[in-house]
Chains A and B, each alone.
Chain A
Amino acid sequence: KAGVTQTPRYLIKTRGQQVTLSCSPISGHRSVSWYQQTPGQGLQFLFEYFSETQRNKGNFPGRFSGRQFSNSRSEMNVSTLELGDSALYLCASSWYAGPSYNEQFFGPGTRLTVL
C-alpha cells in the first residue's frame, strides 16, 4: 500500500507570495492533519480535516488555511508569506479523525523556503 505523498517536496518562494502544498493520504484514510516543523518551535499542529470538513485548528494566523477534497486529498495554503514561514510542512493521514486510538501516518514533508 502506498504511503502518504506530499508535493512538491521542495519549494522556494519570496516574501508576500502565496503557496499551496498538496497531500495525498493512504488509500482509505479519511483524516488528514498538517504540522509545521521548525528548528525553533519544533513540530506544531496546524489543522485537521475529516470528510472534507476542518475538524480543528492549531494556533496559527488566518494566513494558513486548508481544504480537503472528496477523495480525501488535502491542500494547505499560506498567503502573504513571511520569512518565518520557512519550515518543513508535514502531512499525516489516518482512518478516523483525531490521533486518539488512531495511528497517524506521516508523509515525507514539503520543505518551504521563503526568501
Chain B
Amino acid sequence: AQRVTQPEKLLSVFKGAPVELKCNYSYSGSPELFWYVQYSRQRLQLLLRHISRESIKGFTADLNKGETSFHLKKPFAQEEDSAMYYCALSGSGGADGLTFGKGTHLIIQP
C-alpha cells in the first residue's frame, strides 16, 4: 500500500527565514511525487512535481529515494507563502489516483 506522511500539522516561521516542509512516503515501486498548495479561499493547485526538477515561487523539492522523502524547501519565506501544503504520491502509473498526506499548515509571521 502506498502512504504519504507529513509529520507537521502546523509550521510557523518568520518572514525571511528558511522553510522546510517534510514529506515521507512509502511505496514499493518508483513513485511520482507532487506538492499541492491551497491558499486561503482558493482551490487546491499543483505547486511542483519531482520529475520537473524546477523551482516554483522559490520552492524546490528533491526526491530522496534512499530516505523515501520529498521535502519542500524555500530559502527565504514570504508572507504570501502562508497556506496549506499537501504532499502527494502517484504510483502504479496513476492507477490509484493521488495519495495525499494530511497536510501542513504553513504560517509566515511578519
How far is the CB of B108 from the nearest CB of chain A, in Å?
23
Bound state CA distance, A2 and B34, in angstroms?
24
Q: Which of A42-101 contact B (CB under 8 A)?
A: 42-48, 55-56, 58, 90, 97-101
Say yes or no: A56-B98 contact (C-beta < 8 A), given A43-B86, A99-B32, A100-B32: no
Check B94–A58 contact: CB distance below 8 A: no
Number of A residues near B (Cβ < 8 Å) is: 27
How far is the CB of A26 from the nearest CB of chain B, in Å?
12
Q: Is A24 among interface residues, defined by CB-CB distance under 8 A?
A: no
Check A106–B97 contact: CB distance below 8 A: no
Say yes or no: A106-B45 contact (C-beta < 8 A), given A43-B86, A100-B94, A101-B51: yes
Check B98–A104 contact: CB distance below 8 A: yes
Q: A90-B44, A98-B94 are in contact. List 20 more A-B contacts (CB 8 A).
A: A35-B100, A42-B100, A42-B101, A42-B102, A42-B103, A43-B86, A43-B100, A43-B103, A45-B98, A46-B97, A48-B97, A55-B95, A58-B97, A98-B90, A99-B32, A99-B98, A100-B32, A104-B98, A105-B45, A106-B44
Interface residues of A (CB under 8 A from B): 3-4, 33, 35, 42-48, 55-56, 58, 90, 97-108
